Amino acid sequence: MTFSGALTLTDLNDYITPSQACIKPVEQSNAPKARTPGDATTEIQIDASGAYYEVGQGTTSRDSNGGGSTQKLQTADISLTDCLACSGCITSAESVLITLQSHTEVLSVLAANPSPGSPGHRVPVLSIAPQSIASLAAALAGPGPSGTPPIPLAHMLNRVRAFATHTLGFAHVFDTTFAREIVLREHVREFFERKERSGSSSGSNGGGALPMLSSACPGWVCYAEKTHGEMLPFIATTKSPQQVMGTLVKEWLAPHYWDKHPDEVYHVTVMPCYDKKLEASRSDFYNEQYATRDVDCVLTTGELLLLAQEHGIDLSLPVPNEDISLSSTSTSTSVTPVLPDLLSPPGSSSGSYLHSLMLAVAHTYPHPLTLESKAIRSADYVEHTLRDASSGSPVFRGATCYGFRNLQNVVRRVGRAAGVQVGRGAAGRLAGGLRNNNRAGAATGGATAAYDYVEVMACPGGCVGGGGQLRAPERKAVSNTNHDAEGFVRDWTADGVQPSASASNISSSQEDPNTVRAAGTAEAPWSSRAWTREVERAYWGAAHQAPAEYEPKPKHSLPTPPASPKPRDGGGVGIDAGEGGLGAELPAPECRDRAKGGAAVSRRWFSSGADDQGAGLSIVVESLVARVTRELCAPVRVRQRQEEEGVGFGSADTWVDEMSEVRRRGLFRTQYRVVESEVVGLGVKW
Amino acid sequence: MDIVLSHKIASVAELAGHDDRAWHVAWNPSKPLLATCSADKSVRLYSYTVDPSPRFSLHTSIPTGHTKTVRGIAWSPSGSTLATASFDANIGIWKREGQDENDEEAAREWECVSILEGHETECKSVAWSCSGTLLASCSRDKTVWVWEAQPDADFECMGVLMEHTQDVKYVAWHPTEEILASASYDDTIKLYLDDPSEDWFCFSTLTGHSSTVWSLAWSPNGQYLASASDDCTIRIWKRITKHEWECVLVLEDHERTVYAITWGPGKPGTTQTGGESLGWLASTGGDGRINVWAFEEHPDSTQKSPPKHTLIARLENAHGVSDVNSIAWCPRTGYEDLIATVGDDGVAKIWKVVSA
C-alpha cells in the first residue's frame, strides 16, 4: 500500500506531533560553498572527537581532493535563557530548570561553601514569599477540612527561619514583603508617570501606555512576550518583589551592611511559582560586573517542604519563641537595618497591586470617592471602579484578573480598547477586513470602557494558587494521586521531583491509558479551587476567617485612607478583623446570569481607623524605604554631604533628583522583549 | 464485497473549485447554503434549490485572509454566522454583509466580524453549541477552548481545557445540552461540562480506540455518540447515566482511517423492526468508501444494549483515489437523504441515498 500522491507538506502538521520551531536555528558562519548543478547530496560524518562534518558527495567533483569538500559543522550553542524563551524545543524548560534551580542544587552549593571568613565564602540568604508561607501554613495545619485554623504566618515564618538557619546554615532569612512594599510604591509611581504621559500626548502610544498591567507574574510576562508582543508596552516595567528582593540583598544589604560584594552572597528565594525560576534566570537580572544573579536559585514551596522532609524537619511542629517576631536573624551589628516581617497591605493575596494603586488614586483625588466592585462570573475576575462620590463619574477603572482564561479576555479587551492589534502575524491580515462598526470600543463608556490598571496573574486564584504551592492534603483530594511521607497529596512531577517524567510525556501518543485516565480524574477542579481558598484564608490569617462584610448596596462612601501598610503578626499587632480583610471569598456570582456579568459586590477595601495599630510600624517602614532610597539611589556626593552635615533621615521624596531618579529606575525597573517564535528563513506554506 | 444492501448512494452534484484539498463541509441549518473549506485558504459557499431536484450553484467564494489552511468550518444554529478554524491558529467569525438578504449583491459579501486568538498552533475544528451562545475550538496545541458569544460580535473565553495529551482533532456539541466532546491524537474522547460555580471541566474520558480519533457525531436524540478513528473502526458510545458513557458497539467496515462521520435523522419510515429510529450514520475516510447505517433502538433495549444497526448503503471510491475528509447530512426537512462529502481532490460532492 503506497501513500497517495497527495501526501505533501500540508500533512505534516496533522501527523507530526510535538515539535514547533526552535527559536535558535544554527547560523553557519562558515558559509557553505555554492552548489554545482547536479551536486545533489551531502553526508554527515562524525570524527573520533565527536565533531560533525558535512561531506559533499559531488559526483562531478570527485577530483584530487578525494571525495568532495568537507566542512566542519558549527556546534549549536543554546543557553538556558534560549531554552526558556522558546516553546518549540523537545527539551522542556522545566526539566532544564530542575537541574539548575533545584533544592539539590541549593544543598550542594551550601555544602561546598567554605566556612565564614574563608576566601570564597558566600553568605547564604533565604527570602520567602508570603504566599509560600501561607501554603505551608494551610497544608501543615493538620487534619480537618476547615475546622483547624491555619498556622499563623508569623509562626510559620519563624519555623522556616529556624529550619533554614539552624539546619541548612542560612545566615539571613527574610520574607519578601518589604521588597513588595518597595515594588508597590514604585508601581504607583510608574502608574502616575504613565497617566501623565497618556494625558499629555494622546496621540503617541510609545513606551508606557495605559492601561498599565501588572508585572509581578512571570507566567503572564513570559506568555505576553511569546504570544502577545502588542501587550508589552502596557506591562509595568516595575520589577517583581522577588527581583527587588534580589536587588535589596545584593545591592543594598550586602555592600552596605555585610561588607560583601554581590557575588559573595548566595541568594535563594522560595516562591509559589515555577516561573519565578525563569524570571530569576532572565539576563536583565544578571550582574555583569560581578557575574552573579540577583537571585541565585529559586525554590518552590513544595521544594522547600521536600528539603525539610529530607532533613527530618517537621515544619508542622512549633519552634521555641515562634510567636515572637524576629525581624531578622542577623547576628551582625545593630546598624544593620531590620526588615519588618510580613507587611500585608490590604487588597489581594497576589500582592495588592491594584489596591495600593486605588489607595494612591484616592489619596491624590481632591474629592471623596466611591468604590464599585463587580465580579465577572467569578472571584477571579473582578472589576473595580472608583467614582467621584458627588458626580458619580468614573475616576479610575481597574480589575483583578487571575487564571489563563481570564487573562485571554483581558488581552482581548485591552487590545480592543487601546486599538492595538492583538496577536501575531496572521491576524493582521484578517483584521484588515474587519469593519469598524463593531470596533469603536474605546470611547463608548459604560461597561466596555477601558481600564486604567489590571492586576494580572496567570494562576486561577492568583499567587496563593501558584503551580509551586503544596497540593491539598489528602482529605481534600480524590483518590489516584501519590501521597508523600506526611500524607499530603502530591503531584510529584509538578513539584519537580521527577525530572524524567516531564520529558516522557512528550514522546509518544501511545500513552498508557491508565495514566491518561488517572490524569483525568486525579484533580477534580472544585477541590483544587477549594484548596486555593484555604491557602487564601491562611494568607490573611486566622483573624480573617469570617468573611468580610458585604454591603447590600453596591456603593458606599470611601474615606481618604492613609497609604500605610498594616502589619500582620500573630502576636500583638494583629490586623483589624473584618475591616480590610479581602481574603474572604466573594459571594458566588450569579452563574447563569452571564450576559449581565455577574452580581455586583462591594467590599470594605478602604478601612477607616484600622491603621491605628499599624501606625508605629508604618513609621518604621517609611524610614526604611527612605533609607533604601537614600543609600541606593541618591548620588554619592549628596550622601556624603548628608553624612558630613549629620542630617538625619529625610523622607524618600526629598532625595529624588535627576541622578537618583536614574539610579532608582535602574534598580527597580526592568524591560520586556518580544520573543520571536517564527522560523526564520524557512518558507513553509501550508 | 458482494453484499446486497437496501439502498444505494447516487451522485447528485460535483462541485469543483478549490485549488487544493478540501477539508470540511457544512450545511447551513436554516438557509439553502453549503460551505466548504480548503487548504487554498478559501471558503466556498454554494446555494441550492431543491425543486424539482437538488441543483447547486456557487454562491460566493470567501478568500478568508487566513494565512494557512482553513481546516474546519461551522454554522451557528441560526445559520447567520460561520466560524472558520485555520492552521494559522485563529478562529474567524463571519457574517453576511448588509442586513437586506434580498439585496443579491450584498448577500454575496461575507465579512470577518471577529477573530478569536489564543490557540498557539493549528486549529483543527470548531463547533457551535445547540443554543448558538457557545463556540468550541481545538488545536494541535492540545487544548480545547470554549468561547461565549457576546453582543457586537465579541467573544469571551470561558474555558481553556488542557486535558488531552496530544493534538485535538475534533470538537462536537451535544444536540440539545451543553455537553462538549473532543477527539484527539491521544486516542481518547473527552467530555466536558460547565461547573456553574467554577470553570469548564472534563467529566469523562472515553478510551477504547487504538489510534487517533478523527471525528465525532452525536445521534440526533443525544443518547449516542459515534467516533471515527485511525484504527479503521467506528465506536458507538451510549449514555448509561446522565454523565456516563460506554462503548456498546464497534463497527469495522472500513479498510483505512475513518476520517469523518455524520449522524442525521435519516428518511422516516425506514426502520426494519419497528423500533424507534435513531437515524442514519454515514462514514468515510482514507479508503474513499462511504458507508451508511440505519440505527434503531431495540424494542427490548436495556441500559447497556447496543442499538440495532443495519448497513443500508455503500459506495466505493467516492472521490476517486483521493481520501475523503468530511461528510455531512443535509439538515433540511424532507432532504435528510442528501449527503455532502469533500476530499483531497478539492471537490465537494453531493449524494442521495435512494432505495436500491
The CB density around residue A517, as the number of other CB atoms within 10 Å, is: 14
Whole-number Å distance between alpha carbons of A409 and A376: 11
C-alpha pair distances (Å), B79 with each of A655, B15, B74, B217: 66, 21, 9, 19
Report residue A659's pLDDT band, with 50, 70 and 90 as the boundaries: confident
Interface membership of B111 toward A (CB under 8 Å): yes
Please state the rounded mean pLDDT for residues B210-229: 97
pLDDT tens digits for A395-421?
999 999 999 889 998 888 888 877 765
Residue of chain A nearest B92, judged by CA positions: A430
Interface membership of A510 toward B (CB under 8 Å): yes
Tell me the residues of chain A between 224 and 243 that have a Cβ less than 8 Å away from chain B: 227
Sequence ranges of the domains in chain B: 7-355
Tell me the residues of chain A between 377 and 416 that have a Cβ less than 8 Å away from chain B: 378, 404-406, 408-409, 412, 416
DSSP letter at A326 equals: -
Contact A686 B88 (CB under 8 A): no
The three cell numbers of residue A144 are 480537618
Interface membership of A202 toward B (CB under 8 Å): no
Q: Report how many helices (DSSP H) and strands (DSSP E) chain B contains, helices first.
A: 1, 28
Report residue A14's pLDDT band, with 50, 70 and 90 as the boundaries: very low
Percent of chain A with pLDDT over 70: 56
User: What is the least distance, in Å, from the CA of A514 to any CA of chain B?
Assistant: 10
The CB density around residue A68, as the number of other CB atoms within 10 Å, is: 20
The three cell numbers of residue B314 are 455503500
Alpha helices in A498-559 (DSSP H): 499-507, 513-521, 525-540
Radius of gyration of chain B (CA): 19
Task: Tell me the pairing of strands B81-86 and B277-285.
Answer: unpaired
Cα separation of the two ends of chain B: 16
Interface membership of B41 toward A (CB under 8 Å): no
Whose cell is 450576559? That residue is A595
Task: Tell me the pairing of strands A394-402 and B7-15.
Answer: unpaired
Pick the CATH number of B7-355 from 3.40.640.10, 2.130.10.10, 3.40.50.300, 2.60.120.10: 2.130.10.10
Contact A438 B87 (CB under 8 A): no
C-alpha pair distances (Å), B248 with each of A137, A627, A641, B148: 49, 74, 87, 33
* Residue B50: per-residue pLDDT: 86
Query: Nearest CA to B138 among B157, B112, B119, B156?
Result: B119
ipTM of the complex: 0.80
Interface membership of A436 toward B (CB under 8 Å): no
Q: What is the pTM of this model?
A: 0.73
Residue B174 neighbours by CB under 8 Å, 6+ apart: B130, B180, B181, B218, B222
The three cell numbers of residue A48 are 573520533
The CB density around residue A233, as the number of other CB atoms within 10 Å, is: 18
- A172 or A527: which carries more pLDDT confidence? A172
Contact A409 B157 (CB under 8 A): yes
Interface membership of B207 toward A (CB under 8 Å): yes
pLDDT tens digits for B243-261?
999 999 999 999 999 999 9
Using an 8 Å CB-CB cutoff, list chain B residues near A224. none
* Residue A331: per-residue pLDDT: 43
A507 pLDDT exceeds 90?
no
pLDDT tens digits for B84-108?
999 999 999 999 876 655 666 656 7
- In A114-258, beta strands by DSSP E: 123-128, 172-175, 212-213
Residue of chain A nearest B90, judged by CA positions: A427
Using an 8 Å CB-CB cutoff, list chain B residues near A685. 68
DSSP string, A93-162: HHHHHHHHSSHHHHHHHHHHPPPTTSTT--EEEEEE-HHHHHHHHHHTS-SSSSSSPPPPHHHHHHHHHH
- A383 or A612: which carries more pLDDT confidence? A383
Whole-number Å distance between alpha carbons of A418 and A51: 52
* Residue A147: per-residue pLDDT: 58
Please state the rounded mean pLDDT for residues A189-197: 91
Query: Nearest CA to A183 among A536, A455, A581?
Result: A455
Using an 8 Å CB-CB cutoff, list chain A residues near B65. 429-430, 432-433
Contact B198 A425 (CB under 8 A): no
Report residue A543's pLDDT band, with 50, 70 and 90 as the boundaries: very low
Please state the rounded mean pLDDT for residues B124-143: 96
Interface membership of A9 toward B (CB under 8 Å): no
Using an 8 Å CB-CB cutoff, list chain B residues near A438. 113-114, 152-154
* Residue A210: per-residue pLDDT: 86
Residue A280's identity, in one-letter code, is A
Report residue A323's pLDDT band, with 50, 70 and 90 as the boundaries: confident
The three cell numbers of residue A660 are 537618583
Whole-number Å distance between alpha carbons of A611 and A339: 20
* Residue A541: per-residue pLDDT: 81
Q: How many CA atoms lie within 13 A of A501 on its CB side?
A: 9
- Lowest-confidence range among A270-279, A423-432, A617-626? A423-432
A244 pLDDT exceeds 60?
yes
What are the beta bridge partners of residue A400? A382, A455
User: What is the least distance, in Å, from the CA of B171 to any CA of chain A?
Assistant: 15
* Residue A568: per-residue pLDDT: 40
Of B112, B152, B186, the CB nearest to A509: B186
The CB density around residue A19, as the number of other CB atoms within 10 Å, is: 10
DSSP letter at A330 equals: -
Percent of chain A with pLDDT over 90: 31
Within chain A, what is the greatest distance between any pair of CA atoms?
Answer: 94
A607 pLDDT exceeds 80?
no
Report residue A281's pLDDT band, with 50, 70 and 90 as the boundaries: confident
C-alpha pair distances (Å), A251 with each of A125, A180, A261, B117: 13, 16, 8, 42
* Residue A526: per-residue pLDDT: 39
A325 pLDDT exceeds 70?
no
The CB density around residue A5, as the number of other CB atoms within 10 Å, is: 9
* Residue A150: per-residue pLDDT: 85
